[in-house]
Amino acid sequence: MTFTLDLSGRRAVVTGAGRHVGRALARALAEAGAEVGVNDLYGDRIDDTIQLIHDDGGAAFRLPFDVTDADAVEAALADVGTDILVNNAGNAGAEELTGVPPRLLDSKPGDWDKFFRVNLFGVMYCTRAVLPAMVERQWGRVITIVSDAARKPQAGMTAYGAAKGGAAAFCRAAAAEVGRNGITVNCISLGTIPQEQWEMADGPSEVSEHRQRAVREYTLRRFGTPEDITGMVVLLASDRGSWITGQTIPVNGGFSFSL
């Protein structure tokens, strides 16, 4: 018997799919047979991801909108007929490039807004927009990418961790509401998956030292790659994941452990 994760006939939407983790997730869902709506703020990134999916033999279409604009989200997703939503768009702040997060006392309340608009409200807007069609079909999958910054306290990640923790709480509550409609809602909690710019940045010596200290916190002694996430997302999106809901599942190289 062959174990397969087949998404043929399903329509997926991946936010922030123009690069990095989002791009890998869009390609993996398409490889499993889904038609994938590729969202990003930047049209050239969307086109690059779609080209890669087409080169892989998959199907994809453009969905350019800003996840922080509730009206734009509703207009873009109202008629898509989304079966699978992957809330991937996120903002981790300057640490994406420097590797050294600012501490709470070095930030101001105005600095926190960007984290909540993307990481929390963006998730809420997109999820709310796709649920009516899922309820009508009595089938749906919502998968939200959160962070271990919400699960394991980390200095310098206060606003980001709070926003990601809020997204996880929102998804648990949503799972409780829509489970009776055949819809599962889950989160995947990531450890560090460096951006290309993060890896290539020529920063001061303390940046390199910070990275070396950080990687030692991982049981597997390495940071993650976008491809490390794809298997769990495809599983949760498939019929094989139909009895998993309301969970925050760590995919983190052993950065943290939980029962």
**Share of the chain residues as helix, strand and coil, in percent rounded to the nearest 5:** 50, 15, 35
Amino acid identity for residue 113 in this structure: D
Residues 183, 176: Cα–Cα separation, whole Å? 10
What are the catalytic residues?
160
Q: CA nearest 237: which of 39, 11, 53, 77?
A: 11
Q: What's the CA gap between 141 and 124, in Å, rounded?
A: 14
Helix residue spans in the chain (DSSP H): 20-31, 43-55, 70-77, 95-98, 109-116, 122-137, 158-178, 196-200, 205-215, 227-237
d(CA 150, CA 167) in angstroms, rounded, equals 10
- d(CA 215, CA 209) in angstroms, rounded, equals 10
Taking the C-alpha atoms of residue 23 and residue 21, their distance in angstroms, rounded to an integer, is 5
Q: What is the SS3 assignment for 25-44?
A: HHHHHHHCCCEEEEEECCHH
